Amino acid sequence: MKADIHPDYHTITVKMTDGTEFQTRSTWGAEGDVLALDIDPTSHPAWTGGKQQVSEGGRVAKFNQRFGGLSLKK
């Protein structure tokens, strides 16, 4: 490996939304920093089965809302 081109790889603490913590190695922050998560697998709708926003207001839904009444049939 070339010298002085790689980022510092050190141990940090990750704090989940429910308060649990674990240690991992990362290039984020400095040695011993705490990364507090706003969204994690215990709170994100994709993992918890909550309401998903993709089906509510995507581009296709907006198009169908504006032009859904039009048809090519005579």
Rounded to whole angstroms, the Cα distance separating 55 from 52 reads: 6
Mean pLDDT of 68-74: 71
Rounded to whole angstroms, the Cα distance separating 74 from 3 reads: 73
Give the full edge-to-edge strand order of the sheet including 34-36: 21-26, 10-15, 34-36
Burial of 2 (0-12, 13-18, 19+ CB in 10 A): exposed
For the entire predicted model, the pTM comes to: 0.57
Q: Read off the pLDDT of residues 19-64 as tens digits, 9 standing for 90 and up.
A: 999 999 999 999 999 999 988 888 877 777 766 555 567 788 788 8
Rounded to whole angstroms, the Cα distance separating 9 from 28 reads: 8
What DSSP character marks residue 18? T
